Amino acid sequence: MRRLRSRQVRWVGGVVALVLMVASFLANSVQPDQDKLKVAKMTGKMQTVCVGRFLIDLPAEATVHLRRGFISGYDVASTDRESDDEFDARLAQLDTELHDASAGDGRAVLQSIKTIASGERRGKVYVHNRQWAQAFEGERIVDIESVDLEARLRLAHASIAASAKGMALDSGDALVRLLGRFRALGHDEVPTEPGFCIGHAIVLDPYEHPETESVVMFAGLPDHPDVNIVLSSMAGVDPAPRLLERHAVTVERRPLFMQLAFSQLREAARAIHGLDGDELVMRVREPNFTTGYSFQWEMTGRQADVHAPLLMLELSAGTNPDNGGKPVQSTLSEAALLDLWDGIAGSLRLRPTAPHQPARAELPTGVPGDIALARERCPQTGWWHCTEANAQVGVLGGRRQFIEAGTPMPQALLLPQATVWQRIRGLQPSYESNTPTRWRLADRRHAPRALSAGALTVAPAAQAPFAEAYTDCPIGATATSNSACPASGWWRCDDSAALDGARWFAAGSLLPGATFQASPGSGGAASAQRVCRGSTWTLLRPVDQP
């Protein structure tokens, strides 16, 4: 009797375990589809946010905080949640505090007040806390004086606060001039004037020291408190190693147990609307058995170019909403997060400043390096390279395909290498990825062109009419094969797989295709052959003669 009862208990336990396993499998298979539908609904209606000199599209339901930045040496914050009376009360309180303050030796802290009154623009700049110090200048000691500044400015429907410490004695006048360049932004307004967006206001160009400007945007999703989005723009910083270079060093230094916790989902260079950056996407298995995700894209930029700052976009999932709390399980599946990331990251672009012309709608244009996903409309006619192809996996129709603007980007049919048995039977295996195929624009061209094999071509001699028309061309300018060379000089092929080194071309000459090693056939007979195809060339050094 006891043995029979024990068998019944084991049988019932086994059935319950089987039911739980099946239920868990069905739940895990259903969640990604449900999450992808959620993300598709979220990204179906987007809001455009101006961050510094750039624009980014976020889900309309996202909460966005972008109120503080750094401009010309001043910390600046803006808000639209203040009435005129509340601003006046806050200004009066600051006025009283600085008037009543005194230094340790009894001296008054407040040095001067500069009043701003022009139309709807009103406020004050306070110069206070004058300090003396000594420093070495060569071999002699010099006296240094500095002051702190506080400013409050009221615009049509926004308030500005600015502050700085340790500034030069005449900085008060400079701050008044800077505040004169501020203009309030309307709700959801995307300005067209050249300038720097900082929350609810824009600093209009030109202004003093524009190369030192930075701002950070924070965004979250109300229904997914573990998901955070951060975009920062910092101009005037020293160039640093690229994201993937730093990541490679970090991976080498990680102990083995930490390496097992991280899985790289994406790790490659990615250009977005002409912004050259690196992309890194990781899955993280936390010690408390939760799974989180980290999405990063970064452009190193150029130190003295405000239109090419250090630009960093991050999205994290699985972050505890409570500060200091342990990681939590991501509320969105991996596939859904990839869709959300591609929808947000793919929208990042430099804000156009030309006056908007209400004309017929046109498709967005792309530049070499841009990424487009399967089933999206092709943004640029030209040759597109499938990023999922490699030496072991081919693509039906070719790794590089000519796609016209406006047509849906295809979902690639991938062709892995056949096994020996499949070759004997004459079969070619194929499969489609579960995620949309990523295509990278390799060459902008408005008509397909057959690729022919041949030796390295020599650019024809320059023609006088072209040489006169193509003389002003900056270093770093790009041009595509089969187009007129913009300037005489040394040009480098941008395709890392090309056999070409730096080559000299004359202005007006026809830029040739790049030379590549042909893929070996089954018997290796083609290993010594070379092919020539279109590519992009970058100007390294303008020079009239080779």
Six token digits for residue 305: 């170019």
Residues near 117 by Cβ (< 8 Å), separated by ≥ 6? none
Rounded (to 5) percent helix, strand, coil in the chain: 20, 40, 40
Euclidean distance between CA atoms 101 and 124, whole angstroms: 17
- Give 237-259 pLDDT, tens digit per residue: 888 899 999 999 988 888 877 77
Better-predicted residue by pLDDT, 311 or 370: 311
CB 231 within 8 Å of CB 296: no
ω into residue 206 within 30 of 0, thus cis?
yes
The mean pLDDT value for 391-400 works out to 83
| Higher per-residue pLDDT: 11 or 172 | 172
Torsional sign, CA 73, 152, 115, 108: negative
CB contact at 8 A, 107 and 129: no
Contact 501, 515 (CB under 8 A): no
Contact by Cβ (8 Å): 246, 339: no
> pLDDT over 70 for what percent of the chain?
81
For residue 31, give every residue at least 6 positions away whose Cβ sits within 8 Å of its Cβ, in sequence order, or none. Answer: 333
Backbone angles phi, psi at 433, to 5 degrees: -70, 150
Residue 123 has pLDDT above 90, yes or no: yes
pLDDT band at 31 (very low <50, low <70, confident <90, very high): confident
Angle, helix 334-345 to helix 2-42, in steps of 10 degrees: 10
Among the listed ranges 122-126, 344-348, 377-381, which one has the minimum average pLDDT value?
Answer: 377-381
Residues whose CB is less than 8 angstroms from the CB of residue 314 and which lie 6 or more positions away in sequence, other chains included: 228, 229, 230, 231, 294, 295, 296, 297
Sign for the pseudo-dihedral over CA of 17, 19, 22, 24: negative
Quote the CA–CA distance of 478 and 359 in Å, as a whole number: 29
Helix/strand/coil for 419: coil
**Tokens of residue 354, six digits:** 């030309």
Rounded CA gap, 175 and 73, in Å? 10
Among 331, 326, 81, 297, smallest CA distance to 220 is for 331
* Rounded (5°) CA angle 46-51-55: 45
pLDDT above 90: percentage of residues in the chain: 39
Pair of tokens at residue 182: 């501020």
Q: Is pLDDT above 80 for 445?
A: no
Q: How far apart are CA 228 and CA 221, in angstroms?
A: 7
pTM more than 0.85: no
Domain limits of the chain? 73-101+109-208, 217-350, 379-444, 464-542
Write the secondary structure of 326-349 as one string of H (helix), E (strand) and C (coil). Answer: CCCCCCCCHHHHHHHHHHHHCCCE
Band (84; pLDDT cuts 50, 70, 90): very high
Enter the CATH code of domain 217-350: 3.40.1000
For 193-224, write each residue's pLDDT tens digit.
Answer: 999 999 999 999 988 887 789 999 999 999 99
- Residue 15 is predicted with a pLDDT of 53
User: How far from 281 is each of 43, 127, 158, 317, CA to CA, in Å?
Assistant: 20, 47, 38, 11
Instruction: Identify the pLDDT of residue 345.
Output: 95
Of residues 52 and 470, the one with the higher pLDDT is 52
CA torsion angle 203 57 275 375 (round to 10) = -160
Task: List pLDDT tens digits, range 280-309.
Answer: 999 999 999 999 999 999 999 887 788 899
How would you list the strands of the sheet with 201-204, edge to edge? 182-184, 201-204, 195-198
